[in-house]
Chains A and B, each alone.
Chain A
Amino acid sequence: DIQMTQSPSSLSASVGDRVNITCRASQRIGDYLIWYRQKPGKAPQVLIYGASRLQTGVPSRFSGSGSGTEFTLTITNLQPEDYAVYYCQQTDIFPVLTFGPGTRVDIK
């Protein structure tokens, strides 16, 4: 099975900061990479699909980049509602559309 890793596993940041989260795949997955945000007690929400495409309705402070095996989610001008856990997911290789282990973003 393909393995997904994320770094860092957690970070602390202030409102207005720029945050970068990295996701790596153990095999090449092209641009079949999705980023989600999960707020406490809620279902995950798609932020970015196709590695760099902004989901409809998601604020433009979120952006994604990368292809192949290394990907980055960038949040500029961090807002209070962005304190959450962020997951990447590869959607290229079956039978498991694997999630990364998550990155927790806390208030500094």
Chain B
Amino acid sequence: EMQLVQTGAEVKKPGESLRISCTASGYIFTAYWIAWVRQMPGKGLEWMGRIDPIDSYTEYSPSFQGHVSISADKSVNTAYLQWTSLKASDTATYFCARVHTSSWREHDYWGQGTLVTVSS
């Protein structure tokens, strides 16, 4: 069964660092991109960026470039989203999604979401 399983909820203070993970199973990890999507409380979906796990090539939305880092470890079928200095405005649910690269790039499988709360 195809699955993306994400880290559980995190509570952090402003200025702290954080890495959340997205572990894939049931398919060939290197055959699809992984994208990360932010959803702030009560708001819509924002596309943050993507990684190709075969060579770790990344692309970022300009809105997120420089504030987050996307990486992947193909030896453990896991993609990561990382912050070095969190802000209160980073409070959101973060989803990872598999991107179907040989089709219309539909995000066809999603993780369950990781709620990140940043508060002093």
Give the segment of B10-18, B44-52, B75-83 that binds chain A: B44-52
Q: Is the CB of A101 within 8 A of B44?
A: yes
Q: State how many angstroms separate the Cβ of A55 from the closest Cβ of chain B.
A: 7
Prevailing SS type, chain A contact patch: loop
> With an 8 A cutoff between CB atoms, is A71 at the interface?
no
Q: Is the CB of A99 within 8 A of B46?
A: yes
Which residue from B37, B60, B62, B108 sits with its C-beta under 8 Å from A46? B108
Task: List A contacts of B95 (CB < 8 A).
Answer: 43-44
Give the bracket for the number of chain A residues in contact with chain B.
20 to 34
Give the bracket for the number of chain B residues in contact with chain A.
20 to 34
> With an 8 A cutoff between CB atoms, is B113 at the interface?
yes
Q: Is the CB of A96 within 8 A of B45?
A: no
Which residue from B37, B44, B62, B104 sits with its C-beta under 8 Å from A34? B104
Task: List B contacts of A74 (CB < 8 A).
Answer: none
> With an 8 A cutoff between CB atoms, is B103 at the interface?
yes
Task: List A contacts of B107 (CB < 8 A).
Answer: 34, 36, 44, 46, 89
Q: B16-45, CB under 8 A of A: which get 1 and which 0?
A: 000000000000000000010100000011
Q: A1's closest neighbor in chain B, by CB?
A: B62
Q: Is the CB of A50 within 8 A of B62?
A: no
Give A85 to B39 CA distance when docked, in angstroms: 13
Give A43 to B95 CA distance when docked, in angstroms: 7
Q: State how many angstroms separate the Cβ of A35 from the closest Cβ of chain B.
A: 9
**In the complex, which of the residues A46, A55, A94 has the most CB atoms of chain B within 10 Å of its own CB atom?**
A46
Beyond known contacts A91-B104, A97-B50, A100-B44: 14 more, CB 8 A cutoff: A1-B62, A32-B104, A34-B105, A34-B107, A43-B110, A46-B106, A46-B108, A49-B100, A49-B106, A89-B107, A95-B59, A97-B47, A102-B44, A102-B45
